[in-house]
Amino acid sequence: MAYFVVTFGRGPRWSPDCPRRARDGWDEHAAFMDGLVRRGVVLLGGPLGDDVDEGPALVLVAADDAQAAASAFRGDPWHGTVLVTERVTRWTLWLGEPPAPA
């Protein structure tokens, strides 16, 4: 198992005038992401920057390879619409430990 940092940016249905948690499909997106946390796929995640409604999001993923890390989000109702995957990068952890899977 390896760690990957996945960054998400604005997709074609991103609405800058709407708070992130008020956007269409938020409840379904949140439930999907919570499921990935329960399965130990997502270890940490959230928006980057001072404005949580505008910035990109970063997620720490445990997966066998970059393809598995990227494909973990294919069932997310926001994937490819509200959010798009910008980058999947392997992360070699040298300091500390990520949280244990839930």
Q: Residue 97 and residue 74: Cα distance in Å, rounded?
A: 27
Report pLDDT for 94.
92
- 19: Cβ contacts below 8 Å, ≥ 6 apart: 53
Give 77's pLDDT tier (boundaries 50, 70, 90).
very high
Give 99's pLDDT tier (boundaries 50, 70, 90).
confident
Q: Is the dihedral of CA 84, 86, 91, 97 positive or negative?
A: negative
Domain 2-91 fold is Alpha-Beta Plaits (3.30.70)
Q: pTM for this structure?
A: 0.91
Q: Residue 41 and residue 3: Cα distance in Å, rounded?
A: 10
Report pLDDT for 101.
65
| Distances 35 to 15, 17, 61, 90 between C-alpha atoms, Å | 25, 28, 13, 22
The string of pLDDT tens digits covering residues 9-54 is 999 999 888 999 999 999 999 999 999 999 999 999 999 999 999 8
Q: Could you tell me where the DSSP H helices lie in the chain? A: 26-38, 66-71
Spell out the domain ranges in the chain: 2-91
Rounded mean pLDDT of 49-64? Answer: 94
Give 55's pLDDT tier (boundaries 50, 70, 90).
confident
Residue pair 5/60 in contact (Cβ under 8 Å)? The answer is yes
